[in-house]
Chains A and B, each alone.
Chain A
Amino acid sequence: MINDYIFILKAVCHTLTQTSSHQVLICRNYKGDVDMSEIDHFFTLLMQQEEEGLLCPVMSHGNVHFLWIKHSNLYLVATTNKNSNASLVYSFLYKLVEVFTEYFKELEEESIQDNFVVVYELLDELMDFGFPQTTDSKILQEYITQQGNKLEVAKTKVPTTVTNAVSWRSEGIRYKKNEVFIDVIESINVLVNANGSVMSSDIVGSIKLKTMLSGMPELRLGLNDRMLFALTGDKGKTTVTMEDVKFHQCVRLSRFESDRTISFIPPDGESELMSYRINTHVKPLIWIESVIEKFSHSRVEIMVKAKGQFKKQSVANNVEIRVPVPSDADSPKFKTSTGHAKYVPEKNLVVWSIKSFPGGKELLMRAHFCLPSVENHETEGRPPITVKFEIPYFTVSGIQVRYMKIIEKSGYQALPWVRYITQSGDYQLRTNT
């Protein structure tokens, strides 16, 4: 039903022969259906597709299908010969990366070889006969550890959490001081056309928790959600309409569906409680006007004007405006009104960094590059200007945490702390040249 094999491969480049091949670092066969040597076809296909410039995350050879993702220089490949649930396979592969990363800090060739025994154990525990099982790394760490030899028979028990309805939190957690930190982070995605019209914009918000609470606390989060207010008949307050909401598995979805209450038993430590999307058209917080003039065979002149279109009291921090330049440009010269500009030739970019950018201000940067007199024959794409920034103490949507109720049977008092931040997401402005 799901898949037969999970492979972790790496590409090996032979510098001498200018060819590349692959090496299986580790693999686990979950069923007997597919022959292991099938993986050889995967790499052949991959090379072929890369050459044609038509990569596809699903490939097939005969009746074997390869579903793969790439993590740094490793390929994680699942094979199947059935009509498997493809979205499940990809979700699982990404989960695999997550678990390995939490176990070994980095998922790379060395960490796999250094820990191959644990990797095998994990592969065994994460999936059985092609069915994903327990994939919560916090829980796994309770019974699959790297100090295997320390385990005494009497001590090793299956944590009840593994099969509990609350599979994400162990019992018996203790903190001296009970606190919850709530981060409300909103990312702005903007796509602006070369003529300055906003093609699409939306806000992707995320509420992250850092839970330091004892026992099995019941939490309830209150937001100024318009749907909730409509249900309860509250009026006259600023509310926010969330287009789509996604929750951590701890949140009782059916409860939310019926009365918009966000109630849950939180995982311990850091987690993303929920994410939401808001479709309202927002004014791009940092507006960019650019003039890029290219004089063939001689020079490129760039003028970028950035304007902070947010409240004067707010400040955007760590602003980075990345302006594309032709790959054959050289001898950069810059002039900026604030911040400093840097040429990053390996990315064909000018990066203009501004430590703090107050609202309402207008800043200017000029750049001058020389072009070689010989024409560059390769046609180049027209990458957009991208912008990075963060504005603390502020959310564009106006979403607010109204309360966080924490109830635990021992009756302790706990403090919620809330932080708001708005940052750039996928923030692109197309250019004319």
Chain B
Amino acid sequence: MEWASQLCENRGLGSKMTDSKYFTTTKKGEIFELKAELNSDKKEKKKEAVKKVIASMTVGKDVSALFPDVVNCMQTDNLELKKLVYLYLMNYAKSQPDMAIMAVNTFVKDCEDLNPLIRALAVRTMGCIRVDKITEYLCEPLRKCLKDEDPYVRKTAAVCVAKLHDINAQLVEDQGFLDTLKDLISDSNPMVVANAVAALSEIAESHPNSNLLDLNPQTINKLLTALNECTEWGQIFILDCLASYLPRDDRESQSICERVTPRLSHANSAVVLSAVKVLMKFMEMLPKDLDYYGTLLKKLAPPLVTLLSAEPELQYVALRNINLIVQKRPEILKHEMKVFFVKYNDPIYVKLEKLDIMIRLASQANIAQVLAELKEYATEVDVDFVRKAVRAIGRCAIKVEQSAERCVSTLLDLIQTKVNYVVQEAIVVIKDIFRKYPNKYESVIATLCENLDSLDEPEARAAMIWIVGEYAERIDNADELLESFLEGFHDESTQVQLQLLTAIVKLFLKKPTETQELVQQVLSLATQDSDNPDLRDRGYIYWRLLSTDPVAAKEVVLAEKPLISEETDLIEPTLLEELICHIGTLASVYHKPPSAFVEGSRGVQHKRLPPRTGSGESTETPDVGQSGPSEAPPAVIPSQGDLLGDLLNLDLAPPTATVPSVQPSMQMGAMDLLGGGLDSLLGGDIGGSPSMGAGLGAAPAAMPASLGSAPAVGGGLGDLFDLGGGVGMPTGSYVAPKTVWLLAMKAKGLEISGTFARRGGIIQMDLSLTNKAMSVMTDFAIQFNRNSFGLAPAGPLQVLTPLSPNQTIDVSLPLSTSGPVMKMEPLNNLQVAVKNNIDVFYFSCQYPLSLLFVEDGKMDRQVFLATWKDIPNDNEAQFQIKDIHLNSDVASNKLQGSNIFTIAKRTVEGQDMLYQSVKLTNGIWVLAEMRIQTGNPNYTLSIKCRAPEVCPFVYQCYELVLKN
């Protein structure tokens, strides 16, 4: 660095003092002195004075009083001095708008200077002066600069349009600057193109609906050409802009991908991540069977891995994004486990992220290595990291069944270390392992009980209590253990209190003779001495259950719990899609949509991945967000859904006289307090009527407890279960008008028209028989060929009177679904034979699949989530239902009439998502997700079913029901 060393020499010789001297003058009357110096005749002195002013400004002193004097120095041909004055102006113009006008003339003059540096400087500075009066004068110079011959001026002017737009959007539109800016996309200079793209993108952000960027294949081509030539930053602007384009078809998508992939070799991590964003997005449109799709997948892994050798902050951004990519497309990095191993000197934020990704990538193939690493981490010193490592071991056990045993023994080893927080974390995860693999590892309970005293964290205490309650029959001193907790009941956190209540009730149900006193104690603590509504409610429910029907209580409280799912902390698919569209940005770092942290972005369109063209393949991962087993509190009530589900399944016959155990007085208390409450809560739903939503709404208390701790999912889950009264009374199923099935001319004068209906659970074939012949028809009979769902007449065709010429009889034929089955083409085809005294006639008709949707097709939420995840992606089909002008509540009501049940609804920024289930008569479950965008008449329907061939027919039903 030659000149730098020169500088040092200069310094040494003292021929030139450094700027730091300007910071040293802090005497009284400084402003006054500066004023005098600024008005000096000597150029050098003037400049020194301006420097002093700027120095004061830098350290935060108010030197705005010098405004007129500094502006007077503006007219200079010394570039350095000019820059300093401009800098001053930018800072103080806003506070002195009237005086700022004084500067306008110089600006306008400078915009026509011979030196392009000065022209650019003037236009750049003018844009930064946020004073309305000045902006008016800016228009003409800006217009000239946008057409300047020097690209340096043009690129600066392009950015200035965005600045001006920020101050006065209307002015920019009126002056036609947007069009000029659009023209610059075709500029011959790549830097100008890049800045024009950046400016347009910025402006477009505040006008989400304007088609400002107007991306079409021609402009895209220009951008892709400029991509090869502009600076690294320009490449990022262009790539980010490309990411918002929606290619017309898979071919265009592929050709863009091909031209973007070279960017993966750029040395700048930000260029690489922006390129990854474009590729991840456009890949969505490529058919999976395409060779290129596979090639692209392979190309993505190495650059992602290389990002991990960047600076730690960039590594962090990369890891947060890899976390998303791994969830969206696990196949990309499945062989790259090792690169996520934690290094001793990694910063903590990098360590924690790596750990998270390790678990996501854990599989049977690499589990041994992963476990060895995790065990290593669990003995480090950083508490947060160690805790996470211990949890990770538990998650591995749950995720990879083959490794469960090894994980449990590792956890036991860790418990032996007696390190307090390690023991507590281990107990929390072991509880989850018990739930995942019931009756397998309970032999370790004894070891766990040894550590009871050292538990001081609520989560660990609650976990331990759950274990004691759940396995009370195997723990000899379970009552003593629980009793010891009961002593300080009121000092415990709610989580522990709830758990203790449940555990003691379980214990009582298992060992009623010895524990009556204990249960009474806990019930009264919960109901009478606590002001926590959750606790009181749960206490009363148990109390009433125990007092009315202990058998039922046993059924409820000791019910078999659903298995917990293996993947945890997954981001909800629609959010994941949106985040993939924001790779590299803050949203991808926070794992939150921009609307969650950017002001004024509400109502801005959510970015979605493009729909896959070609095959009807899935566009999303099957994993519906769930609260992780490691996060959910260890309740006997796994979630609100299940609690109510269990309660609803109760036989709620009026209480009989046999009320054993609990003292009568207590029972009275409970009865009184609850009044009709519980009855009304539960009563409405007897008989499994589908309006479960009402019941849910009435018992929100249990929700926070079970859903509170799933930060990654955010409010998602809450929304998911929040059925805001969307389900009302069924409106009855839709019955299509009759159509002619058999023409008279083909059937010797017998015309048959008909339709199908499902009424109150009974399938009916409504027929109109018309005699168009000259003679009377008698002896009607009907028979079906074997068909896909075993439809068969449940009785004879009831045509009692002879059918006279020109007479029409309407008959309803009840159908059963117990006939012989044979798969038909199309699936819903039914071949019918009708006989009368004249001949036998054959015809075929097609029934709507909704005929087979049974009334108890409402799936439990948990089961839904698990099933959705379980059904392979390839079984998912997507459809568009066009031109529906219903809001989601009306739609879900309508659908319910045809036994399409809405299980959950969530709303994300104006988009309603309905999760629905349907059960067919033959036991096939169909799961659906319907997305409704406010103001958009087109619904998107995703259907998942283990028998994917029914999907199009289910879709037909949706369309039929919604449109009528």
**Do B598 and A82 touch (CB < 8 A)?**
yes
Q: Which residues of B contact A110 (CB under 8 A)?
A: 20
Q: For the complex, give the distance between the alpha carbons of A381 and B386 in Å.
A: 11
Q: For the complex, give the distance between the alpha carbons of A55 and B316 in Å.
A: 12
Q: For the complex, give the distance between the alpha carbons of A193 and B371 in Å.
A: 13
**Do B266 and A249 touch (CB < 8 A)?**
yes
**Do B317 and A86 touch (CB < 8 A)?**
yes
**Do B306 and A277 touch (CB < 8 A)?**
yes
**Do A90 and B317 touch (CB < 8 A)?**
yes
- Give the shortest distance, in Å, between B238 (CB) and chain A (any CB): 12
B373 contacts the other chain (Cβ, under 8 Å)? yes
- Give the shortest distance, in Å, between A117 (CB) and chain B (any CB): 6
**Do A63 and B3 touch (CB < 8 A)?**
no
B328 contacts the other chain (Cβ, under 8 Å)? no
Q: B582-601: which have CB < 8 Å to A?
A: 582, 584-590, 594, 597-599, 601
Q: B213-271: which have CB < 8 Å to A?
A: 228-233, 236-237, 240, 259, 261-263, 265-270
A134 contacts the other chain (Cβ, under 8 Å)? yes
Contact of B152 among A163, A165, A204 (CB under 8 A): A163
- Binary contact readout B573-617 vs A (1 if CB under 8 angstroms, 0 otherwise): 000000000101111111000100111010000000000000000
Contact of A87 among B127, B314, B369 (CB under 8 A): B314
- Give the shortest distance, in Å, between A38 (CB) and chain B (any CB): 13
- Give the shortest distance, in Å, between B12 (CB) and chain A (any CB): 13
A85 contacts the other chain (Cβ, under 8 Å)? yes
Q: Which residues of B contact A134 (CB under 8 A)?
A: 231
- Give the shortest distance, in Å, between B921 (CB) and chain A (any CB): 49
B628 contacts the other chain (Cβ, under 8 Å)? no
- Binary contact readout B364-382 vs A (1 if CB under 8 angstroms, 0 otherwise): 0000010011001001111
A104 contacts the other chain (Cβ, under 8 Å)? yes
B894 contacts the other chain (Cβ, under 8 Å)? no
Q: Which residues of B contact A1 (CB under 8 A)?
A: 198, 201-202, 205
Q: For the complex, give the distance between the alpha carbons of A135 and B338 in Å.
A: 35
B311 contacts the other chain (Cβ, under 8 Å)? yes
Q: B292-339: which have CB < 8 Å to A?
A: 302-303, 305-306, 309, 311-314, 316-318, 338-339
Q: Which residues of A contact B384 (CB under 8 A)?
A: 53-54
Contact of A55 among B116, B266, B349 (CB under 8 A): B349
Q: Which residues of A contact B13 (CB under 8 A)?
A: none
Give the nearest-CB partner of A426 in chain B.
B343
- Give the shortest distance, in Å, between A112 (CB) and chain B (any CB): 9
- Binary contact readout A266-302 vs B (1 if CB under 8 angstroms, 0 otherwise): 0000001001010000000000000000000000000
Stretch of B77-85, B511-519, B760-768 that contacts chain A: B77-85
Q: Which residues of A contact B150 (CB under 8 A)?
A: 158, 163
Q: Which residues of A contact B143 (CB under 8 A)?
A: none
Q: Which residues of A contact B344 (CB under 8 A)?
A: 381, 383-384, 428, 430
**A-B CB pair tally, cutoff 8 Å:** 272
Q: With A165-B190, A428-B344 in contact, do A85 and B163 touch (Cβ < 8 Å)?
A: no
Q: A2-56: which have CB < 8 Å to B?
A: 24-26, 29, 31-32, 53-56
Give the nearest-CB partner of A245 in chain B.
B265
B151 contacts the other chain (Cβ, under 8 Å)? yes
Stretch of A178-186, A253-261, A306-314 that contacts chain B: A253-261
Contact of A85 among B7, B240, B302, B309 (CB under 8 A): B240
> Main secondary structure on chain B at its contact with chain A?
helix
Q: Which residues of B contact A256 (CB under 8 A)?
A: 262, 265
Give the nearest-CB partner of B90 in chain A.
A29
B706 contacts the other chain (Cβ, under 8 Å)? no
**Do B306 and A253 touch (CB < 8 A)?**
no
Q: Which residues of B contact A85 (CB under 8 A)?
A: 236, 240, 270, 274, 584-585
Q: With A53-B382, A163-B152 in contact, do A103 and B4 touch (Cβ < 8 Å)?
A: yes
Q: Which residues of B contact A383 (CB under 8 A)?
A: 344
Q: For the complex, give the distance between the alpha carbons of A213 and B48 in Å.
A: 41
Stretch of A149-157, A341-349, A351-359, A408-416 that contacts chain B: A149-157
**Do B313 and A90 touch (CB < 8 A)?**
yes
- Binary contact readout A78-102 vs B (1 if CB under 8 angstroms, 0 otherwise): 0011111111101111100000001
**Do A277 and B302 touch (CB < 8 A)?**
yes
Q: A129-174: which have CB < 8 Å to B?
A: 129, 131-136, 141, 143, 145-146, 148-149, 151, 153, 156-158, 162-163, 165, 167
Give the nearest-CB partner of B87 in chain A.
A120
Q: Which residues of B contact A141 (CB under 8 A)?
A: 3
- Binary contact readout A174-200 vs B (1 if CB under 8 angstroms, 0 otherwise): 000000000000000001011000011
Q: For the complex, give the distance between the alpha carbons of A277 and B309 in Å.
A: 10
Q: Which residues of A contact B120 (CB under 8 A)?
A: 158
**Do B19 and A113 touch (CB < 8 A)?**
yes
B192 contacts the other chain (Cβ, under 8 Å)? yes
Q: Which residues of B contact A204 (CB under 8 A)?
A: 309
B357 contacts the other chain (Cβ, under 8 Å)? no
**Do A380 and B381 touch (CB < 8 A)?**
yes
Q: For the complex, give the distance between the alpha carbons of A430 and B384 in Å.
A: 21
**Do A151 and B1 touch (CB < 8 A)?**
no
A333 contacts the other chain (Cβ, under 8 Å)? no
Q: Which residues of A contact B261 (CB under 8 A)?
A: 257
- Give the shortest distance, in Å, between B78 (CB) and chain A (any CB): 7
Give the nearest-CB partner of A82 in chain B.
B598
Contact of B598 among A63, A136, A254, A382 (CB under 8 A): A63
**Do A31 and B166 touch (CB < 8 A)?**
yes
- Binary contact readout B407-426 vs A (1 if CB under 8 angstroms, 0 otherwise): 00000000000000000000
Q: Which residues of A contact B313 (CB under 8 A)?
A: 57, 67, 69, 90, 93
Q: Which residues of B contact A246 (CB under 8 A)?
A: 265-267, 306
Give the nearest-CB partner of B349 in chain A.
A56
Q: For the complex, give the distance between the alpha carbons of A277 and B594 in Å.
A: 35
Interface centre among A91, A94, A380 (most CB of B within 10 A): A91
Contact of B228 among A55, A135, A136, A252 (CB under 8 A): A252
Q: For the complex, give the distance between the alpha carbons of A133 and B120 in Å.
A: 13
Give the nearest-CB partner of A277 in chain B.
B306
Interface centre among A85, A103, A246 (most CB of B within 10 A): A85
**Do A83 and B586 touch (CB < 8 A)?**
yes
Stretch of B154-162, B521-529, B834-842 that contacts chain A: B154-162
- Give the shortest distance, in Å, between A44 (CB) and chain B (any CB): 18
A65 contacts the other chain (Cβ, under 8 Å)? yes
Q: For the complex, give the distance between the alpha carbons of A194 and B377 in Å.
A: 12
Give the nearest-CB partner of B119 in chain A.
A158
Q: With A85-B240, A85-B270, A143-B117 in contact, do A90 and B589 touch (Cβ < 8 Å)?
A: no
A420 contacts the other chain (Cβ, under 8 Å)? no
Q: For the complex, give the distance between the alpha carbons of A25 and B57 in Å.
A: 11
| 8 A-B pairs with the lowest CB-CB distances in the bound complex, closest first | A148-B80, A244-B302, A253-B262, A114-B18, A83-B594, A132-B233, A163-B151, A87-B270
Known pairs A25-B58, A199-B341; list 16 more (Cβ under 8 Å).
Answer: A55-B347, A56-B316, A57-B349, A63-B599, A81-B599, A143-B117, A149-B47, A151-B80, A153-B77, A153-B79, A157-B117, A247-B265, A249-B266, A253-B228, A381-B344, A381-B380
What residues of chain A have their CB less than 8 Å away from a CB belonging to chain B? Answer: 1, 24-26, 29, 31-32, 53-58, 60, 63, 65, 67, 69, 80-88, 90-94, 102-105, 110, 113-117, 120-121, 124, 128-129, 131-136, 141, 143, 145-146, 148-149, 151, 153, 156-158, 162-163, 165, 167, 191, 193-194, 199-200, 204, 243-249, 252-254, 256-257, 272, 275, 277, 379-384, 426, 428, 430
What residues of chain B have their CB less than 8 Å away from a CB belonging to chain A? Answer: 1, 3-4, 7-8, 18-20, 22-23, 47, 51, 54-55, 58, 60, 77-80, 83-84, 87, 90, 114-118, 120, 124, 127-128, 130, 150-152, 155-156, 159, 162-163, 166, 189-192, 195, 198-199, 201-202, 205, 228-233, 236-237, 240, 259, 261-263, 265-270, 273-274, 302-303, 305-306, 309, 311-314, 316-318, 338-339, 341, 343-344, 347-349, 369, 372-373, 376, 379-384, 582, 584-590, 594, 597-599, 601
14 A-B residue pairs with CB within 8 Å: A53-B383, A57-B316, A105-B1, A113-B20, A124-B83, A133-B155, A134-B231, A135-B232, A153-B115, A158-B117, A158-B152, A163-B151, A165-B190, A199-B338
